[in-house]
Structure 1
Amino acid sequence: MEFKDYYAILDVPEDADTKAVKSAYRRLARKYHPDVSKEENAEERFKEVGEAYEVLSDKEKRAEYDQLRKYGNRGGDEFQPPPGWDGWQQGGAQQAGGSESDFSDFFDNLFGQRRQRGGAGFSSAGFGGFDDFAQRPYPGQDVELDFPLFLEEVMAAEPKEVRFTLRAHDEQGRPKDIEKSLKVRVPKGVNDGERIRLKGQGGPGGNGGPNGDLYLKVQFAPHPDFDVDGHNLLLTVPLAPWEAALGGKIEIPTLAGRLQLTVPANSHAGARLRLKGKGLPQRSGQGDLIAQLKIVLPERPAEGDEAAWKSLAEHHPHFNPRTKWR
């Protein structure tokens, strides 16, 4: 069985903290998202990145994986855990909800059994024998899936399609796959990391028991222009030195289109301008767009630039922007 080097997959060092792991995941998830990526094997890479994040973002899973990575034999094509390793579940496992795992055999062999609800299984004691117990209705398993969203999808009112596979059994007890497709409307005000519950859309119950629930874990995909702070959007706005000094109107992007931003005269680098109601939807109202100013010099000085800067320095002989250091 092929060993999975999750650190190499996310391109992070072994001592990467949780923030670095999450940042790497969000960057790669956007790069390989099947809806937008033109990369070769994008869907396969997208799943691989998700699997690596599942392990490295979880403290317990990561600790166990690090031990296996350190002491296991990775020589050749067949990975072998260290002698006496209790956690290895040879032959694979099924994910929660009874469905076949979206993760690799390596992941399922290491963590699969612990993804199932109920621990070591049921005992027939107290149920009048196994046959009697087997006829009792039992609920289906809950299922949790990642639900990646672009910021534009958070703003939109259109539902988003979710496709997944559930494992069920026919009347003879033989396993079968159920392909499901749902149109999910993104709740207003949903935030990164929240879970959306879809009642009865999880694993099928048995003997007339209720279906489990489907939980969608919201994950905001990275945006090339905006960072997210709660329901606020953060935008870095580059300014030429003269734009900061003289002020004026400039055009900036928002998720709802472009608009004019008024820059006050004598603006400083790092200053923040708040545009109310131009952020992400909240359950009541709308977040803000916060524009942080950044002063940028021309890449190639033109003739006369040096003289102009020297003239400016001569006009302000006593100005020292570092007086607070004294």
Structure 2
Amino acid sequence: MEYKDYYAALGVAKTASDDEIKQAYRKLVRKYHPDVSKEPNADAKTKELNEAYAVLSDAEKRAAYDELGHARQHGGFQSGGGFRPPPDWGADFDTNAGNDRDFFADLFAHVGARRRSMRMRGEDSQASISISLRDAYQGATRTINLRIPELDERARVVTRERTLDVRIPVGVTAGQQLRLSGQGQPGTGGAEAGDLFLEIQFESDPHYRVEGRDVYETVPVAPWEAALGGEIDVPTPSGKVKVTVPPQSKSGRKLRLKGRGIPASGPSNAAGDLYLLLEVALPPADTERARALYQQMARELAFNPRAALGG
């Protein structure tokens, strides 16, 4: 059996608190989430992080794991390079399963053997779900597939796949957790199952940036729209709106649409605002007519954009 260093996987010390472990896990799982990560090993890394967190976030599993780690530090190695667990590690379960078992499975079985005669509520589980910004405005139902390690009646680890339909309520924000009651790990001795906590993540979108409930949208405008002002139609996450561009606007000008950010999710918070960041877009000079118009502007406007720099 090959020893796995779960503390190193999460980048925390062996003395790390529960909060430090949770923060490290959340940071790394965001980085390597397959929906957003460009790392070639994102799937494998996410699996490793989930496995490490499943052990270190549970007091009993962590204690059993630390017991194994202590034995490792005191000569628990076999001549072939493998790792020899403590003498009582295999009590009450089959230790001769060879390659059919792995480190994670043996750790579960070791803990499970101690739990079989106990009535205990199931553990809570952690996962993440990526949604579009529009989902936060309108609400949605998303289907997720989870592969969850569970203990069978003989305290052996089996992996079961579950499909859940998750309702995304209006007004969710990035980092918020949705609690799915009874969808966590099953209880033992007839006790109730734990809960599943889904952390909300927004899918990457080049047009929007989100800060809390406030949303920032880059809006291209033509030079004449910026210079002369006027009404323009702007698509937003909540639908198309008419916006008045003030005359003499420049790139970077910010227009605030109050209450057009992520909607409130309850009476205790208010809707965010939508900020439109104007960006002057130049027509391409890809025809004779377009080039002639640019040349006419150069002659008649006598405009020097570098005058303020002394150019």
TM-score between the two structures when normalised by the length of structure 2:
0.60
From 295, 298, 308, the equivalent of 1:306 is 295
**Equivalent residue, structure 2, for 1:185:** 167
> Aligned to 2:275, which of 272, 286, 290?
290
- Aligned length in residues: 232
> Structure 1 267/23 Cα, relative in aligned 2: closer, same or farther at 3 Å?
farther
Indicate the SS of the match to 2:284. coil
The equivalences for 1:1-326 within 5 A come to: 29=35, 48-52=41-45, 134-283=116-265, 284-300=269-285, 301-313=290-302, 320-322=307-309
Contact 1:251 1:260 in 2 (8 A): yes
**Paired residue secondary structure (2:126):** strand
d(CA) in 2 for partners of 1:24 and 1:310?
52
Deviations 1:31-80 (A, max 9, x none): 99xxxxxxxxxxxx99x535546889xxxxxxxxxxxxxxxxxxxxxxxx
Task: Call closer, same or farther: CA 1:242–1:23 in 2, change over 3 Å.
Answer: farther
8 Å Cα contact 1:29/1:50 also seen in 2: no
RMSD (Å) for aligned C-alpha atoms: 4.3
Match of 2:187, SS? coil
**Structure 1 counterpart of 2:54:** none
Aligned-pair distance for 1:139? Answer: 2.7
CA distance in 2, matches of 1:30, 1:202: 25
**AA paired with 2:292?**
E
What is the deviation of 1:166? 2.9
Native 8 Å contact 2:139 2:169 kept in 1: no
Secondary structure of 2:291's match?
Answer: coil
Cα distance, 1:156–1:166 mapped onto 2, change above 3 Å: same
The CA distance in 2 between the partners of 1:197 and 1:177, in whole Å, is 22
> What is the CA distance between 1:159 and its match in structure 2?
2.6
Distance 1:186 1:134, change over 3 A: same
Change (3 A) 1:238 1:24: farther
Structure 1 residue 185 displacement after superposition: 2.1
CA distance in 1, matches of 2:118, 2:131: 40
Q: CA deviation at 1:123?
A: 12
Letter matched to residue 305 of structure 1: Y
Alpha-carbon distance in structure 1 between the residues aligned to 2:280 and 2:145: 46
Percent identical: 31
TM-score by length of 1: 0.57
**SS in structure 2 at match of 1:274:** strand
Q: Which secondary structure state, in structure 2, belongs to the residue aligned with residue 160 of structure 1?
A: strand
Q: What amino acid sits opposite 2:35 in the alignment?
A: A
In structure 1, what is the equivalent of residue 63 of structure 2?
none
Deviation at 1:254, TM superposition (A): 0.8
Distance 1:234 1:25, change over 3 A: farther
Q: Is the 8 A contact 2:135 2:170 kept in 1?
A: no
Q: Which runs of 5+ in 2 are unaligned?
A: 1-27, 50-74, 84-101
AA paired with 2:238? Answer: A
**Structure 1 counterpart of 2:14:** none
Give the drift of 1:137.
Answer: 1.1
- After superposition, what is the alpha-carbon deviation per residue over 1:217-254, rounded to whole angstroms, capped at 9, x for unaligned? 11111124212121122111122222211011112111
